[in-house]
Structure 1
């Protein structure tokens, strides 16, 4: 059946006017009536901010400025495309690097120039049919309702559509990994691999090995996998993570470099490489990666002042204070309103002035850093606040150091990696037992808060218990135990009171948040089941 394009609104992003006209001519011949065009990536983003499009056709190479990969990254980051919109990347060449870079940001499909009417219509129709079929799943993923998305996957699988079965199973397994239901994910991957040898299912099995903590086995399996599927970039990322988990940062560095050789335009991977090179004191690799991240960041939504700061610090390690100062000036021009960037600039200025042995001049950036910390506090990124804690300790402001570290520990107590970073900093600059003592006190404080709330709940003082946990969650938004306790109490309140759609929505939002902060399925899954039962028994509480 021929698809009706009459109602579809299409955005064409292409820097060459003659090619835009050719694409528009093909689209008009297909019956398209609503076409908007943009000659640059920036204008493409502007158009997506102005209105919703059903289809975006975007060239990868857009001259100076944003490329197609960066356009898609920004569109996804700010949710400028609806869950059922189609984004097709267009490339002019079939080189390995270009194709891998285009696919790295996961467009719905891609086309190689030149293409004809049949090729374009076939790709668009295929994408639209797939999007429409998966709409019930993608809609829930888009708003963060992962458990509902899983239920919708199961409904589609029950229909027995052989053509779509594998695609839906992949989504179902990916969602199982998101909620850390590794048992369900493993079952799906095993079922698929018994039928045929599919790369993503093989990789999924290895990812589960990683999450089980068997890092050596993960490394061995990933090495074999990459030997078999050298173009699957995601495998390099997991291999680097596995090496890092084993403490083998040098091999992790080599692995990320291999991935970047294949797809050099992905800024997030360049940033990871730069941080890893910093860890291993590989200054030249760090400089190269930070410089790449700075250049890519000029047109990317993921561009960060931390890339400038990292590059400047790499120059300081090479005794190039002048180069570091130049980068600081560039950073200040690019990021002048962002609190993180302003504090980062002040801290960097302190380090540059120290390197130049100019202690008197360094006093001014110290004052600036303290003022910014006082002004923005918890709004500042946690890594930057940890650096601020170090600076405040070294300058003798011990009270501020204690305050920052206590808050960072409370907020990130379940993040073992970051707690480890706090421990390292304290051991290096404050004292060996400082972090352990502080962490111990805060853990006891959290236990006391939890016990107080639970005791109030047991006494039947539901409102008081809710108030305790709501206040705690506001102060410590990433604390798993507090979030779980709050959820259990609200669920109990829902079960024992009249139907309340607002409370139901609140519980679902907390469940979605619990998934994001890493609460595993075996702890959160039962709460989702209870909420589903409440919604089933009380239709008034169901979302419209």
Structure 2
């Protein structure tokens, strides 16, 4: 048994006697750095302030009532909002007899889950196993923390020989890292190699993800169908299969897949959102209403409630013609999400939908104006919601408001639109006049950014040049002059100011993009040779 004295542990359980029992069990192994949390909310606040090695979480955090989140929903929040990383071990504790809930917990990939009652020996054995595995992966995790992804891939490859029992796990990590770098061929080869040895669910899923990313949708569908035939409880496969059907234009099949998944595992909020959206698009308002109501109810006690869930429910109820329920949902949005930076946008959009339904066109236009005014203060709004706002503004002839929202989306670093996408929004709506005006504004801004970058380079300010060009590239990702200029500025910075791993990774990825679209150009060869020369200059390995 390993020495656990330095482990920091968070116990998440509403029952004081159970926390005391767990604390006594841990103390027997010399673990004394233990904190308590009585609910998902207190757990999230604790984890936001402090990093824990181990989280022991009770599944039923509400004591059997419907008040509050359960352990599965807590884990979903922690994963989705990146509050726990690869270092943190999360073990679910449950006596839950409802199989659907157990599946929901298991599919979120806790490091382990233990059925109660259990002995101290069982608990310590599971902790020992999880800590041992984490120790083997620590060198790779440390490289990833430094954003040295290619070095991490190489380290994981070497570790496969040093830890034969974990060789498949290291291969899986290498595949995931290649996938994250956009190197689908490398990731796909690893998955094929694993599957040649034995059929493993996650390898089939990884292969399907590569096929999907490469837009080989029929192949992805065949891979996922085979996986689900072998393992009909592999929940993540349903989610990707639904997305694959959507990519193939098969929305009704996507809805059926999601309905099947929810029937097996009914507590995953993100899947319920997806089901609601697909059902709405296919015109199945009954299923959409049920799904969005469940989303709003299940997210009620989350620290990360999203007011967009209320908009989706209001939109569905308006489509159904149920003004009373829609009004009730808007009141709940105003009351329960007061203080959220996105609430005013979502309230105004919802109110506009309801007013349009009742024929109050002028009031609806006024609320759309309120929504547009609030967009710039909001954080993390989905593109779907903002594009829906643009569409509503165009229908009400609020052309300037529509253009302002699109320009704001283009300036959003977290997931904005490119020039082609922005112009396409208005072209699709048949508003060629606005498309032309927006295109001219974007071109003017990009020209200003290029001039700013040129001035910065002339003054030797490489970082400012790269920053300006990166913004220009986000606006025009397919523009060859901007792409060449951005890569060139990055390579000059790396050569003259020293190697920085994140910038080096970014330059390499942009070179890969340039190779695909302009690889025959001699200017590309010059950049590639310059990149290789800079790597050699600073002793950077060029092997993955």
Separation (CA, whole Å) in 1 of partners of 2:142 and 2:392: 46
Separation (CA, whole Å) in 2 of partners of 1:418 and 1:111: 51
Partner of 1:67: 70
Partner of 1:385: 386
> In the TM superposition, what are the counterparts of 1:254-269 in structure 2 within 5 Å?
254-269=256-271
Separation (CA, whole Å) in 2 of partners of 1:86 and 1:511: 34
Shift of 1:465: 8.4
Separation (CA, whole Å) in 2 of partners of 1:421 and 1:285: 32
Separation (CA, whole Å) in 2 of partners of 1:57 and 1:529: 51
Separation (CA, whole Å) in 1 of partners of 2:181 and 2:329: 41
> In the TM superposition, what are the counterparts of 1:55-94 in structure 2 within 5 Å?
55-63=54-62, 64-81=67-84, 83-93=86-96
Partner of 1:488: 488
> In the TM superposition, what are the counterparts of 1:217-236 in structure 2 within 5 Å?
217-236=219-238
Q: Is the 8 A contact 2:103 2:265 kept in 1?
A: yes
| Of 115, 119, 139, the match for 1:116 | 119
Q: Is the 8 A contact 2:348 2:371 kept in 1?
A: yes
Tell me: CA distance 1:461–1:146, structure 2 relative to 1, closer, same or farther (3 Å).
same
Q: Is the 8 A contact 1:26 1:117 kept in 2?
A: yes
Q: Is the 8 A contact 1:346 1:369 kept in 2?
A: yes
Partner of 1:153: 156
Shift of 1:260: 1.6
Separation (CA, whole Å) in 2 of partners of 1:382 and 1:249: 20
Q: Is the 8 A contact 2:11 2:56 kept in 1?
A: yes
Shift of 1:176: 1.5
Partner of 1:247: 249
Separation (CA, whole Å) in 2 of partners of 1:81 and 1:65: 21
Shift of 1:376: 3.2
Partner of 1:23: 22
SS in 2 for 1:336: coil
Shift of 1:538: 4.0
The worse-fitting range, judged by mean Cα deviation, of 61-70 and 119-128 is 61-70
Partner of 1:189: 191
Separation (CA, whole Å) in 1 of partners of 2:156 and 2:433: 49
SS in 2 for 1:87: strand
List gaps (5 residues or longer) in structure 2: 520-524
Shift of 1:294: 0.6
Tell me: CA distance 1:253–1:445, structure 2 relative to 1, closer, same or farther (3 Å).
farther
SS in 2 for 1:12: strand
SS in 1 for 2:113: strand
| Of 290, 294, 298, the match for 1:296 | 298
Shift of 1:309: 0.8
Shift of 1:235: 1.1
SS in 2 for 1:376: coil
Tell me: CA distance 1:124–1:232, structure 2 relative to 1, closer, same or farther (3 Å).
same
Tell me: CA distance 1:220–1:443, structure 2 relative to 1, closer, same or farther (3 Å).
farther
Partner of 2:138: 135
Shift of 1:377: 8.0
The worse-fitting range, judged by mean Cα deviation, of 484-493 and 262-271 is 484-493
| Of 201, 214, 239, the match for 1:212 | 214
Separation (CA, whole Å) in 2 of partners of 1:266 and 1:46: 22
Residues 147-166 of structure 1 show CA distances to partners (whole Å, capped at 9, x for unaligned) of 33223212323x44321111
Q: Is the 8 A contact 2:446 2:475 kept in 1?
A: no
Q: Is the 8 A contact 2:272 2:294 kept in 1?
A: yes
Separation (CA, whole Å) in 1 of partners of 2:79 and 2:426: 35
Tell me: CA distance 1:247–1:446, structure 2 relative to 1, closer, same or farther (3 Å).
farther
SS in 1 for 2:164: coil
| Of 83, 90, 107, the match for 2:110 | 107
SS in 1 for 2:249: coil
> In the TM superposition, what are the counterparts of 1:267-346 in structure 2 within 5 Å?
267-346=269-348
The worse-fitting range, judged by mean Cα deviation, of 137-146 and 85-94 is 137-146
Tell me: CA distance 1:377–1:311, structure 2 relative to 1, closer, same or farther (3 Å).
closer
Separation (CA, whole Å) in 2 of partners of 1:465 and 1:14: 52
Separation (CA, whole Å) in 2 of partners of 1:311 and 1:441: 37
Separation (CA, whole Å) in 2 of partners of 1:379 and 1:338: 11
The worse-fitting range, judged by mean Cα deviation, of 160-169 and 81-90 is 81-90
SS in 1 for 2:342: helix
Tell me: CA distance 1:127–1:312, structure 2 relative to 1, closer, same or farther (3 Å).
same
Separation (CA, whole Å) in 1 of partners of 2:151 and 2:434: 41
In the superposition, the TM-score normalised over structure 1's length comes to 0.83
The worse-fitting range, judged by mean Cα deviation, of 36-45 and 120-129 is 36-45
Tell me: CA distance 1:210–1:371, structure 2 relative to 1, closer, same or farther (3 Å).
closer
Shift of 1:127: 0.6
Separation (CA, whole Å) in 2 of partners of 1:389 and 1:143: 40
Shift of 1:397: 3.6
SS in 2 for 1:90: strand
Partner of 1:34: 33
Q: Is the 8 A contact 2:410 2:422 kept in 1?
A: no
SS in 2 for 1:307: helix
Separation (CA, whole Å) in 2 of partners of 1:432 and 1:397: 12
Q: Is the 8 A contact 2:410 2:417 kept in 1?
A: no
Tell me: CA distance 1:400–1:81, structure 2 relative to 1, closer, same or farther (3 Å).
closer
List gaps (5 residues or longer) in structure 1: none
- How many aligned positions are there? 525
Shift of 1:37: 2.3
Residues 159-215 of structure 1 show CA distances to partners (whole Å, capped at 9, x for unaligned) of 443211111001111111121212211221222222222222233333333233222
SS in 2 for 1:163: helix
Q: Is the 8 A contact 1:14 1:62 kept in 2?
A: yes
Partner of 2:179: 177
Residues 280-332 of structure 1 show CA distances to partners (whole Å, capped at 9, x for unaligned) of 12111111111111112113355311111111111111111121111011111
Partner of 2:503: 507
Task: Say yes or no: does 1:399 pair with 2:400.
Answer: yes
Tell me: CA distance 1:350–1:480, structure 2 relative to 1, closer, same or farther (3 Å).
same
Tell me: CA distance 1:370–1:324, structure 2 relative to 1, closer, same or farther (3 Å).
same
